Structure formats: structure tokens, C-alpha cells
């Protein structure tokens, strides 16, 4: 869709608003490579906000040793990659994590395992935008559009198409959109009018 938009407008979009289902690392990295601002929650947003344990943002990365320092000041060393989950693993030790006073806030295991997504830089870039006014504005605009599609599915019967072929599907959608616009026009024209204020004598 982005490629078609860029071809149609002869320019790439500057930003994109979407829900969390699009906020995976690969797509966020794709947007980052093309300098497109992502106004969308990341896929791990719910888990990060509900988890009682320290999140990755509480750990400090040391690029020289490719390791992380935990909130208690202990080092987690690189332990390999998980290709299936597209993450890099960093592991503490029983000796360091066992007697740690912050262990109950960090893990339920004998030591901490920290999983860092391969596209973590792109994911963090998206997280940094969550609290900005631009993010709130983009999400409000997105919901306006999605509300129209929800109405088409729920009230105008476009949950399932009745015809086959691109031409006939397009005709059905145009008819449904026309009905939707007529409903909105009627509501707009029949809205309350402001009565003139009588002049004071």
C-alpha cells in the first residue's frame, strides 16, 4: 500500500498511523530505513506495561562488550540469538542474580534472561513517539477513518462481498460508500440549528 501510494503521489509518505498489529520490528525497521515516522504502538506494548518485572529499557547496553548492565549494576553477557523470535539473548548468572535484593522485581527464575529484538532500535524509535502530541493527533485521525470502515461492515452489509471479480466488487463498494455518504449528509443537514438571539430592548 505504501508503494502504491508513493507511485500515485510521486512521493513517499512522511508518517504512518496504525494499530499495534502493525508495530512489529520488521515493519518498523522497514519504515525506519525509508525515514517514515511510525505513529503506532509496538506489538509488545501490552506486555511491557502489564509486566511486574523490569523491562529492557531498565538495562544499559555496553557496545564494546556487547552486554547489558542491569538496574542492580550486574552484567548480563551475550548468550546467542533466537532466530525464531528474532531476538538476541543476554544472560545473568546464579551467582550474581541469586542474592540480588532486586531479584523479585526482575525475574522469577534463578537468573535473568533478557531478550532484545533484532530490530530493537526501530521499536524504541516508535516507543519514543508514544507520548508526543503528534502521536495523539495521528491516532485520532486514524480512528476517524477506521470508524467509517467499521460502519460499512456492521451497518451497511459489507462484511462479506456478494459479487466476484474486481469490477463487480468495486461497484458494490461504491454503492455502499454512496449509501454511507447519504446517511452522513442527512445527519449533517438535519442537525440542530442555532436560533437567533433576540435583540435587547
pLDDT of residue 156: 81
Q: Which residues of the chain are modeled with pLDDT < 50?
A: none
Same-domain status, 168 and 124: no
Distances (CA, A) of 110 to 46, 55, 66, 87, 104: 25, 17, 22, 21, 11
Looking at beta carbons, which pairs linking 105-112 to residues 24 or more positions away fall under 8 Å? 105/52, 105/53, 105/54, 105/71, 106/53, 106/54, 106/70, 106/71, 106/72, 107/53, 112/70, 112/76
Asked if residue 144 belongs to a domain, the reply is no
Same-domain status, 108 and 165: no
Per DSSP, the chain holds a count of helices (H) and strands (E) of: 7, 7
pLDDT of residue 90: 96
Same-domain status, 104 and 44: yes
Same-domain status, 15 and 102: yes
The domain containing residue 172 runs over which residues? Answer: 155-189
pLDDT of residue 149: 85
pLDDT of residue 49: 66
Beta bridge partners of 17: 39
Same-domain status, 184 and 125: no
What's the grid cell of residue 191?
442537525
Same-domain status, 1 and 87: yes
Q: How far apart are CA 39 and CA 198, in angstroms?
A: 48
Same-domain status, 88 and 166: no
Same-domain status, 41 and 123: yes
pLDDT of residue 126: 93
pLDDT of residue 157: 80
pLDDT of residue 193: 60
Asked if residue 141 belongs to a domain, the reply is no
pLDDT of residue 87: 92
DSSP 60: E
Asked if residue 201 belongs to a domain, the reply is no
Same-domain status, 169 and 116: no
Cβ distance 35 to 15 under 8 Å? no
Same-domain status, 123 and 38: yes
Stated pTM of the model:
0.71
What's the grid cell of residue 79?
548468550
Number of domains making up the chain? 2
pLDDT of residue 93: 94
Same-domain status, 61 and 112: yes
pLDDT of residue 119: 92
Amino acid at each position: 500500500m505504501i508503494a502504491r501510494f508513493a507511485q500515485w503521489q510521486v512521493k513517499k509518505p512522511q508518517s504512518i498511523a496504525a494499530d499495534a498489529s502493525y508495530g512489529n520490528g520488521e515493519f518498523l525497521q522497514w519504515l525506519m530505513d525509508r525515514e517514515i515516522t511510525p505513529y503506532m504502538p509496538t506489538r509488545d506494548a501490552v506486555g511491557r506495561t502489564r509486566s511486574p518485572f523490569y523491562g529492557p529499557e531498565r538495562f544499559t547496553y555496553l557496545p564494546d562488550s556487547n552486554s547489558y548492565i542491569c538496574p542492580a549494576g550486574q552484567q548480563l553477557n551475550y548468550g546467542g540469538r533466537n532466530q525464531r523470535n528474532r531476538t538476541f539473548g543476554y544472560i545473568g548468572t546464579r551467582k550474581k542474580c541469586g542474592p540480588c535484593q532486586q531479584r523479585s522485581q526482575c525475574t522469577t527464575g534463578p537468573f535473568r534472561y533478557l531478550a532484545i529484538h533484532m530490530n530493537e532500535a526501530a521499536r524504541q524509535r516508535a516507543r519514543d513517539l508514544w507520548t508526543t502530541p503528534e502521536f495523539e493527533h495521528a491516532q485520532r485521525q486514524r480512528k476517524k477513518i477506521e470508524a467509517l470502515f467499521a460502519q460499512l461492515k456492521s451497518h451497511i452489509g459489507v462484511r462479506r462481498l456478494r459479487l466476484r471479480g474486481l469490477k463487480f466488487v468495486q461497484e458494490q463498494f461504491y454503492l455502499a460508500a454512496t449509501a454511507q455518504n447519504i446517511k452522513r449528509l442527512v445527519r449533517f443537514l438535519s442537525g440542530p440549528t442555532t436560533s437567533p438571539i433576540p435583540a435587547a430592548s
